[in-house]
């Protein structure tokens, strides 16, 4: 709104003699009330909601609980601002309803087989919280930790977590950060860093659930997907990789030519899709770590909103919300049905600590882990 114009709320207050409530005055563009995200955890860790905005009107809301993206408002083909991610509208649900909505996942995104890693000949047993594997850093991974927040300006926030030696039995005192920058061309530039005082494993990602249709009350499998990949790392019935790569050509996993996800997501004649109850697999990217090449592109045929993903990681996990079942209520009290969203998680391959022939995830003292992901939003008309 241009300076000098009087807001509708002020006009209403003038003519009615009423004063807008603080919550009415402070609601975000996505309709979130920041006061519902304010909480002190463990008596020393404050949690709140942070808002990033750019000159073109895009808004990103983030909580330092799990360094999570809570909402992303972008314009559709008609200029209507639309929230394109799933999540909750209060901190209590993020704390008490298990979810990965919008979270920074660590120490190790995805699965580690049988929860076992071996470092310098020593076998370490990690939590087994998913089919006897360690998933997303264990039951109290970083998505459930409070990060220290430093919002340097209206478009950048750095969130830092200190993970002690033995956190979910991972070795090393690790200091990790994720920096979100909202650019003027409607991109979210995500940069991760981590250091350790003992040799350990690190694999970070963002776990946003995208619904570019803007209506999470219904399925989102009509979204059109492109993936720059010629192979996947197949899984068994426990969703664990075996160290192989199989070609996607001639299979439902080939997204080199963009297609609607619904075309094959329930093709349960395919064993891999049956194992995942849909798509829940790692694609080996052809981009080979080139941040300037499009790794994935998602498009809504309804709103025209597009999402391009860029990364310097070797892989990307496509997860189609197969385990949502309508029991979880998110923002605006909407129940999230099965396949209401699409996750595109940039990453090293699952179980890389136990696959010596795959790119290493070892972080040593004196070294710095770096990873970058860009979510670039646009529109087709």
Give pLDDT tens digits for 146-190.
999 999 999 999 999 999 999 999 999 999 999 999 999 999 999
Per-residue DSSP letters for 52-104? EE-TT--EEEEETBTTEEEEEEEE-TTS-EEE-B---SSHHHHHHS---TTEE
In tens, the pLDDT along 3-29 reads 333 343 433 333 334 444 444 459 999
For the whole model, what pTM was predicted? 0.93
Q: Which of 59, 133, 136, 207 is catalytic?
A: 207
pLDDT the model gives residue 25? 54
Both tokens of 331, joined, read 């923002």
Q: Supply the pLDDT for residue 228.
A: 98
- Note the pLDDT of residue 20: 44
Tell me if the domain spanning 31-379 has CATH number 2.70.98.10. yes
Q: Specify whether 132 is catalytic.
A: no
> Cα(91)–Cα(36) distance, rounded to whole angstroms?
6
Active-site residue, selected from the candidate residues 193, 281, 345, 348: 345
- How far apart CA 219 and CA 341 sit, in angstroms, is 7
> What band does 381 get if pLDDT is binned at 50, 70 and 90?
confident
Q: What share of the chain has pLDDT > 90, as a percent?
A: 92
**Terminal CA-CA length for the chain:** 25
pLDDT at residue 227 tops 70: yes
Tokens of 66: 């799990």
Residue-level pLDDT at 219 = 86
Mean pLDDT computed over every residue of the chain: 94
Mean pLDDT of 210-231: 96
Residue pLDDT, tens place only, 31-89: 999 999 999 999 999 999 999 999 999 999 999 999 999 999 999 999 999 999 999 99
Q: What is the pLDDT of residues 97-139, one digit of tens each?
A: 999 999 999 999 999 999 999 999 999 999 999 999 999 999 9
Single out the residue of 67, 235, 21, 36 nearest to residue 161, CA to CA.
67
Euclidean distance between CA atoms 103 and 96, whole angstroms: 15
CA 16 to chain centre: 44
Question: Is 345 marked active-site?
Answer: yes
């Amino acid at each position: 709104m241009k300076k000098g114009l009087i807001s509708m709320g002020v006009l209403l207050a003038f003519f009615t003699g009423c004063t807008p409530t603080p919550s009415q005055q402070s609601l975000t563009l996505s309709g979130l009330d920041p006061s519902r995200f304010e909480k002190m955890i463990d008596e020393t860790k404050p949690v709140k909601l942070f808002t990033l905005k750019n000159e073109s009107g895009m808004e990103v809301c983030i909580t330092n609980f799990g360094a999570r993206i809570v909402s992303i408002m972008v314009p559709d083909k008609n200029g209507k601002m639309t929230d394109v991610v799933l999540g909750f509208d209060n901190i209590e649900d993020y704390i008490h309803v298990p979810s990965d909505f919008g979270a920074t996942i660590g120490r190790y995104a995805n699965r580690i087989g049988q929860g076992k890693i071996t470092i310098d000949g020593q076998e370490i047993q990690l939590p087994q919280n998913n089919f006897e594997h360690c998933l997303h850093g264990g039951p109290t991974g970083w998505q459930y930790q409070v990060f220290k927040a430093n919002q340097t300006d209206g478009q950048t926030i750095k969130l830092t977590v200190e993970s002690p030696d033995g956190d979910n039995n991972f070795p090393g005192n690790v200091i990790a950060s994720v920096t979100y920058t909202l650019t003027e061309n409607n991109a979210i530039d995500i940069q991760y860093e981590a250091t350790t005082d003992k040799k350990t494993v690190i694999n970070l990602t963002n776990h946003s659930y995208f619904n570019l249709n803007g209506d999470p009350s219904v399925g989102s499998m009509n979204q059109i997907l492109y993936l720059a990949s010629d192979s996947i790392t197949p899984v068994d019935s426990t969703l664990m990789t075996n160290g192989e790569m199989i070609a996607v050509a001639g299979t439902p996993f080939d997204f080199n030519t963009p297609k609607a996800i619904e075309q094959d997501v329930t093709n349960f004649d395919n064993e891999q899709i049956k194992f995942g109850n849909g798509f829940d697999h790692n694609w080996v990217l052809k981009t080979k770590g080139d941040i300037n090449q499009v790794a994935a592109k998602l498009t809504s045929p309804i709103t025209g909103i597009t999402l391009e993903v860029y990364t310097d990681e070797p892989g990307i996990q496509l997860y189609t919300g197969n385990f949502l079942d309508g029991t979880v209520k998110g923002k605006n009290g909407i129940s999230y049905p099965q396949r209401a969203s699409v996750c595109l998680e940039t990453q090293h391959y699952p179980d890389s600590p136990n696959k010596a022939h795959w790119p290493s995830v070892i972080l040593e003292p004196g070294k710095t882990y770096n990873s970058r992901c860009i979510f670039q939003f646009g529109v087709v008309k």
